[in-house]
Structures are given as structure tokens and as C-alpha cells.
Structure 1
């Protein structure tokens, strides 16, 4: 296996170090480029191989690196450099893997009625928790009736070093502004709610119609959701791009540090609060509330901070409780079976 075949898939020294010399010479690394309900598609740099989904395989997702033997059989999954996960949609109390081994995430938010600072902060918390560089991409700049530069400045205020780029996904010269994050060996993910123009951006970055797109609905200014699966695409110039379905039920779980990092300004002010366990709600001597009163901090931002912390704590607790209940039920079932076997 040659390095030049794997680098276009995002191969990096971090994964190389996980191989023995014998494995490098005998086996084949491959990256999951498409994950469907019954089949996983991996790319070795020379060919694509379909692996049937089975209970014997570990939990994996698009972007994972796996090791195959010479016959294309699964051996193991590489240790991840990063992982995005979320609480599964609906009532299921479990975590859902979203994407692995991502270097940069493009948080896509359109400049029409979908524009929401609260939603951007939610994605920033996920990115920080995963240890992935976030870049906010404000799409559909051509449809924005407000001052685009003012919107960009408003989003940049969410983080001192936060890159923010406004683009028109239908204009190649506009999308070219994202090229610095798409260099050889780098993996970029697109995340955002339905209809914000992710598929259009994918097609523009890849240079081909790899994702189906749909127009804007005139009645509510919303785009139609078109992407239904997660998949990897090579970008001309060497990068790799991962597209994900719109996350209509994106919820945080086990993401407290990510929330704290996304609201670093609040964390910094908290160091000056009178009480070390200040909740920044009504305590005397709260430096955060004082900043809000002086209009140095937006009250909306503090309210969203509290909301996201509550949400992640509730979801983390419910997932842990569900797992504990499952373990307890398993013990009861095994005990009942043991008693039954004794009677028999």
C-alpha cells in the first residue's frame, strides 16, 4: 500500500502510527465513504469494497478508517482522531455516531429565514466537544435582504477566533473562499439544518452534481431537504468532504465541555463571580449577570447557554439511566433463566 493512494482519502500520520510494519505490508487500510442500513462502502484508494452490516462489526460511521485483510475482510477499526455524536432522534435514549476523523466542520446556516444565532451556537458546542475546528458558512448570500457584512460581524462576535464566510453556493468564485480548509489530506464535514444549501455547497466544492438539490419554497423561504445519507466525496485539490443529512432533531448529550468552550466569554466572566458554584441566574456578585446589565453581553446568549447546558445534562442523564435499566433487566433475565434451568 502506498501513501499517495491513501492521502486523497484523508490519511494522516496519526493513523499510520497505529499500524505495525507487518500490517502495513500485508493488510489494507480503507476509509468508510458511505454507510447505509445494510451495507458499508469502504475505499482503499484503489477500489471500493462493500461490507455487509452485521452484529459482529463494532459501531462505526462515515469517516472511520478500518483495516482489511488481503481478501477484503474486516479486521479492526482505527482509533479515531475525532468523533461527532448526538442523541438519537425521537424517543430512543442512545447516542448516534454522525461522523469520524474530521479536521474542520463547515457549520452551514442560510441568510434567509433559517438564520439563527442559537442554532449556530448549538453546532459550535458539538464542534468544540469533538475537538474539530469550526468554520461558520453563511449560505445563500445572494438571497439575503439584510446587510451581509453585518451578519458576518454578528456571527464572528460568538468567538474571538471564529472564521465566518458568507457564500453564494451557485457562484464558484464565492465558494472558492472555502478552499483554505480543503487542502490535501484534510477532511471537512458539512453540518446544518435541512434546506440551508449543504447539497449545493457539496456540488460546488466537489465540482460535480454528486448531491441532488431542490429550490426554495416560496411560501416559507425554506429549502427542500434532499440529502438522505452520509457520504464522503473527494475535492479537487486533495481534500475530502463529508455531507450529512439535515439534523432536524439535533440534541446535545455528554457535551458540557463543548458548551463551555462555545461560550468561552461566559466561562471567562465566571472566574470573577463571587461564588465558585455561581449558576449565573440570580446570585449576588455574579459577573455574568453584571455584564448583561451593562449590555456588554447579549441576554439572548446567556439564555441559550443555560438552555444548552440543561439539554445536554438531561440527555446525558437519560442515556445513562437507559443503559443502567438495560443492564439491570439483563441481570434479571439471566437470573430467571438460571432458576428455570435448575427446575428443569
Structure 2
């Protein structure tokens, strides 16, 4: 760490290197290894960046065998200074993952994110239930969040979207036109040097346009929306971090219409804290909030204090999280049992060979 120390340290800070990661290194690791950040993940290699610039790292070895432990975009790795092979992955400050459609395992999205821009558009693709799903994930990770409504230039009635988000007045809400730099200026507060920003939203809501506008160059491909339903096509093929000149790092990811939730009980409780508070006042502790007497939740719906859609979405997400968390637990148990079986077979084979000598 003696060579290019000043420039190297500056580069690492711009990539998001903070004391949280630095404190994880031993003295030997400081001498023998170099920290690098994963900028993109491909099928056979990672693109990483560190104090000496960018380089590829092959996806091979024990570090990549566990689906949940293998490096993802935003992770910090230690590379051996001589071989340039990854030694280990550093502990994460935050992690985003989802249950992939039809799978029994979670899929990693990104790690070590500081701020999240939850992007939706002022058209038919605006979906409040989907936004609540994103927020449950973000609140679980403990990241700073901002709600961003795009395509403001295509709508004459912005108030309907703003009113729909009134339950989230604890979060900043910005109305932007991705092609108008003046409307994007408030977003730059989330893109300061050394900070990592994720853009979450479904396909076609304008994430790639925002990325290009904030970066001042064409970093990501963009495409239009279908006129009949305002749905967008996937314009981003893989997750990647993009440096912003004089700013931080932006994560662009493929649009995710299906974002299965698992192991986000705290985030879900935080997002629907209003319903949790009402439920605590129900007459029965096991109230299902349907037709039970003394249900404070149903009373709030009748008075107009609570939207029934929000209750139904909370119930749906509660069931989904419970189901997916159970699936993950079962998968982990199966994996442990299989690993124990493999070790037992290997040990028995070793004993058998030793006995035959």
C-alpha cells in the first residue's frame, strides 16, 4: 500500500471505500492484497476496479460456489497482489436480493448500496403496490430512499400520482423529466462522491435515461414505451456500476416486474407500520382483519383512514415473505444435509483406501 498511496486512497474513496471495509483487513492482508470493487458481473468473469484501474477477474474457485455468498455487483473483494486472484469477499454493509421466479434460491441484486432511487413513471405503469414492495426491500437494507416520478413531461395530471404516495411523506418525492437537467439537480444530492446509488423500478420507467442524464453520457441503452399500455421493454441486460464524473456510483439493473421477497420481515413491518399500529388495537390478538368484532383495521378502512388496497397488499406480502422464507430455510437445510452426506462419503472412501494399503 506504499506505492501511489495518495492517488490510490483517493480512488478507493471515490469507489465507496469507507472505514467499515478498511477495518476488516488484517495487517498481512494490507500487505499482500489489494481491495477492489465489483463493477459488473458476467457469466464467466467479474469486472472490478481499484487503485490501479479496472481489470477482469475470472469466476472460479470456492468463493463462487455458494449462491448467496458469491460476489455480486457492489461487493468489495481482496485480490492477491501477485496472482490477481480473489482471496475473500469483505462483509457487506447492505444487501439486496430477491426470490427469482420459479426458483428455490434467492438471487443477489447488489451489495453495499448507500442510497436508493425508487423510480416509477407518470403513466399507466404507475403501481403503488409495486412501490410498497420495493420499499419493504429498501427499508430492510437500511438504505436512504427517495421516490422518483419520471416522464413528468408526458402527463398533465401529476397530482394524482403525488396524492397516491401521501402515505410516504417520510420520504423525499421528486417529479422529474429525465431529459431536462434542471429537474434532475435535486437527485445529485444522492450521487455525491464515494456514495453508491441504486435505481430500482420496472422496465421502461426511465431508469436508463436518468442514468445517462446524471452521467452526462450514453452509458446505458434506452428504448421507448408501448403506447397501448405504457409498459416498457428491458433496456439493461445486466447489473453494473457506473462512475459519475465528480460524483458517486450509479447502479443500473434490468427492470424487475417480479421482485419476490424473503427474509425481509423488519422491512415489511417498517413499510406498513401504520397497519401494524392499528392491528395492535384490535380486540383479538389473532385478528385476521376481515370481519372480526372490534377490528381496528377494518374500522380504519370504513372511516377512510386506511385504503383497503394497502391492507390487501400488506397481507399478500406477509404471506409471500413467510412462504419464501420457509422455502429458503428448507433449501439451506437440504444443502447442509447434502454437504454432510458428501463429507461422509469422502471420509469413508479415504478410510477404505487407507485400509487397503
Q: Give me the TM-score of the superposition, normalised by structure 1.
A: 0.91
Does 2:203 align with 1:226?
A: no
1:1-344 to 2 correspondences below 5 Å = 2-58=8-64, 59-71=70-82, 72-89=84-101, 91-145=102-156, 147-155=157-165, 157-328=166-337
Distance 1:16 1:329 in 2: 36
| Runs of 4+ in structure 1 over 4 Å off | 326-344
Q: For the Cα contact (< 8 Å) 2:8–2:51, is it kept in 1? A: no
- Separation (CA, whole Å) in 1 of partners of 2:13 and 2:103: 37
CA distance in 2, matches of 1:137, 1:241: 15
Aligned length: 341
Q: CA-atom RMSD, angstroms?
A: 2.4
Change (3 A) 1:75 1:340: closer
Unpaired runs of 5+ in structure 2? 1-6, 65-69
Change (3 A) 1:278 1:237: farther
CA distance, structure 2, for counterparts of residue 228 and residue 149 of structure 1: 33
Q: Distance in 2 between matches of 1:86 and 1:178?
A: 26
1:200 shift after superposition = 0.7
Question: CA–CA distance in 2 between the matches of 1:82 and 1:333?
Answer: 32
Say whether the 8 Å CA contact 2:9–2:51 is kept in structure 1: no
Distance verdict in 2 for CA 1:69–1:334, change over 3 Å: closer
Q: Summarize the Cα distance change of 1:34–1:333 in structure 2 as closer, same or farther, 3 Å threshold.
A: closer
The answer to whether the 8 Å contact 1:232/1:240 transfers is yes
Q: C-alpha offsets along residues 184-236 of structure 1, whole Å, 9 cap, x if unaligned?
A: 21110011111111111111111110101112223332222110101001123
CA distance, structure 2, for counterparts of residue 324 and residue 20 of structure 1: 33
Whether the 8 Å contact between 1:182 and 1:237 is mirrored in structure 2 is no
CA drift at 1:76: 1.3
Name the SS for the 1:158 alignment partner: helix
**Residue pair 1:139, 1:168 contacting (<8 A) in 2 also:** yes
Deviations 1:165-190 (A, max 9, x none): 11111111111221111112111001
Cα deviation 1:138-188 (Å, max 9, x = unaligned): 11111124x213422421x23241111111111111112211111121110
Gaps of at least 5 residues in structure 1 are none
C-alpha displacement of 1:3: 2.3
8 A contact 1:34–1:62 mirrored in 2: yes
CA shift in 2, pair 1:323/1:79, >3 Å: closer
Give the TM-score of the pair, scaled to structure 2: 0.88
Question: In 2 relative to 1, CA 262–50 (structure 1 residues): closer, same or farther, beyond 3 Å?
Answer: same
Q: Is the 8 A contact 1:152 1:165 kept in 2?
A: no
